[in-house]
């Protein structure tokens, strides 16, 4: 059985890729939606986009938030990879061309493998059809919030399902005032809040498919990947333990 730390790490990491998909579910170019669309267009239409991220997940039981630093690689039309920092950092990768979704948790250690078709539909749409995502509408409304004690301009988006279940959330996105690129994404449910901070965006002139690779030590055991369990934030798979 994965340890509590490993399960919580998986919850943070999977929460990140879901947040990334929701954040890039860009509204159509109408009213406030158009402002958000312009903010996201550079990411969705680039050969490749890469950024550092900081994840902060609140504790529903009143404890200090969980924090995790990592990096994301996104190749529109091809795939998405997230890697948490540190020697025990978890990795999640989706590669459409290789027909796979991978999860590697060094703490176990084990690498979980699944076909592309088993990846959450929202993530598959983000990777496979970025231009279609830009045509959607999430009903953006301007909303200023305080983030770490500082006021931030941003937009709230109409509630949307985070995966293929009926879970609902409140979503808010804020740009970097200098670059205009996404800086903060907040996803709040009735249980907890995940805040994702993007930084150091870079845009290579050509896609580097090798950035989607998950390298593991030779001889690492493998197992089947069930994304439904990873996206379950309740007690058990991927969630916090109640005491």
Where residue 72 sits, what CATH number does that domain have? 2.50.20.10
Position 172 in a domain? no
Q: Are the beta carbons of 51 and 72 closer than 8 angstroms?
A: yes
Position 187 in a domain? no
**Residue 102 sits in which domain range?**
4-135+198-230
3-state secondary structure of 5: helix
Q: What total of structural domains would you count in the chain?
A: 1
Position 46 in a domain? yes
Q: What is the pLDDT of residues 63-95, one digit of tens each?
A: 888 888 999 999 999 999 999 998 778 899 999
In terms of Cα–Cα distance, which of 134, 132, 139 is closest to 155? Answer: 139
More confident call, 96 vs 57: 96
Position 185 in a domain? no
Position 107 in a domain? yes
Position 130 in a domain? yes
pLDDT(28) > 80: no
pTM of the model: 0.81
């Amino acid at each position: 059985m994965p340890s509590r730390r490993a399960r919580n790490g998986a919850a943070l990491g999977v929460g990140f890729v879901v947040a990334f998909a929701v954040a890039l579910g860009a509204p159509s170019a109408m009213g406030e939606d158009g402002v958000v669309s312009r903010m996201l267009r550079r990411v969705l239409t680039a050969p490749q986009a890469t950024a550092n991220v900081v994840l902060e997940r609140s504790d529903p039981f009143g404890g200090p938030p969980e924090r995790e630093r990592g990096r994301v690689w996104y190749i529109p039309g091809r795939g998405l990879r997230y890697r948490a920092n540190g020697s025990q950092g978890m990795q999640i990768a989706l590669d459409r061309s290789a027909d796979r979704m991978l999860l590697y948790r060094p703490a176990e250690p084990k690498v979980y493998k699944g076909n592309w078709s088993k990846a959450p539909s929202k993530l598959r749409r983000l990777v496979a059809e970025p231009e279609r995502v830009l045509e959607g509408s999430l009903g953006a409304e301007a909303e200023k919030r305080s983030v770490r004690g500082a006021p931030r301009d941003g937009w709230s988006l109409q509630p949307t399902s985070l995966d293929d279940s009926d879970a609902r959330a409140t979503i808010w996105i804020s740009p970097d005032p200098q670059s205009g690129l996404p800086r903060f994404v907040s996803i709040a449910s009735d249980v907890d809040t995940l805040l994702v901070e993007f930084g150091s965006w870079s845009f290579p002139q050509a896609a580097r498919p090798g950035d989607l690779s998950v390298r593991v030590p030779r001889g690492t055991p493998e197992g089947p990947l069930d994304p439904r369990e990873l996206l379950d934030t309740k007690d058990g798979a991927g969630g916090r333990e109640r005491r």
